[in-house]
Amino acid sequence: MEILPQVQEVLAYVKSVNVTHIENKLLASRALYEELAPLAGEEEAVFAVENKTIALTGRAINIRIYRPDDKKRLPVLVFFHGGGFFKGSLDSHDRPLRQLANLSGVVVISVDYRLAPEYPFPHGLNDCIDATQWIMQHAAELDIDSRYIAVAGDSAGGTLATTVAGKLKDLACQILIYPLTGCTLDTPSWRAFAEGPVLTLEKGIELWEYYTEDRIRAAPIFNDDLSGMPDAFIITAEYDPLRDEGMAYAEKLRHANVQVTEKLYPKMIHGFVQMGGVIDQGKEAITAIAAYIRYKLLP
């Protein structure tokens, strides 16, 4: 395994983050994840950024809306952040989503779903489904084009995105960034990169323990009916334990006659798309995602 200099720089930064003052393991992990936000680069200016709350029966879901310009009725990308289902926030992914809105020219809406273990499966998933449905139903209020709505997510967010895509009809496409699609933790890539970098087997076991005991129901790759799913763009990283399950899911979608665009980034690590301020391939991936969005969403 060849660790590129830019990746070495990222790994050194991660190692330098000190959260030892937080005794609770879960809270420390969440705090460390938030501290990685600067790896995405500077906070780009966007034409308009708005925080909004979706009021539902018995709960509320916070969303953040990024508008790249003042054009009316733009298409929308609904984004679900990664973090192993138990960490991450609107802020953890704010910088790459600003970049994505500017590069794609569409409205990007980030969803602050409930996290495990306080809210195990399917609470967070239900938030993602309900938020996307609400966005579709309130297109006029949001001044967006309901004909062109896509979903996306990275890592665990990719799991949520593709599950939402299977539940809701008429989505334009799904963009899955090194998605967590299986749950066996026993593919060749899980064995090869059990010690990381970044995502380790220990962390993989931990996230599933936090998220659910019903792994099979929560893992998209075990869905036997993928017919009618929207077109997919799937990004994987060579040095990522999730590589093989992401590629296997892409193949399963193809067998269900779903049009799949797939891109493997050589020598890249899990999370690299959030690290575009340091890793050039992270920037390139966001540019590629933006190009796919323009192709699929802009009429």
CA dist 213 and 216 (Å) reads 9
Q: Which one of 130, 154, 240, 244 is the catalytic residue? A: 240
- Is 240 annotated as catalytic? yes
> Which structure tokens are listed for 17?
């983050």
Q: Which H helix or E strand runs over 62?
A: strand 59-67
In b/e form, how buried is each residue of 64-90, taking b as 16+ CB within 10 angstroms? bbbbbeeeeebbbbbbbbbbbbbbbbb
Residue ranges of alpha helices (H) inside 86-241 are 94-104, 123-137, 139-142, 156-167, 188-192, 201-211, 215-218
Q: Token match 């899955």: residue? A: 176
Residue type (1 letter), 242: L
CA dist 224 and 4 (Å) reads 39
- Best CA proximity match to 182, nearest among 190, 170, 174, 193: 190
For residue 22, what is the DSSP state?
A: -
- Is 270 annotated as catalytic? yes
Most distant CA pair in the chain, distance: 51
Q: Token match 């790994």: residue? A: 11
Q: What is the CA radius of gyration of the chain?
A: 18
- Best CA proximity match to 109, nearest among 136, 137, 79: 79
- Crossing angle of helices 94-104 and 280-297, rounded to 10°: 50
Q: Which one of 94, 155, 231, 244 is the catalytic residue? A: 155
CA dist 297 and 196 (Å) reads 36
> Which structure tokens are listed for 150?
């896509």
Q: Which one of 29, 94, 127, 270 is the catalytic residue? A: 270
Q: Which residues are catalytic?
A: 155, 240, 270
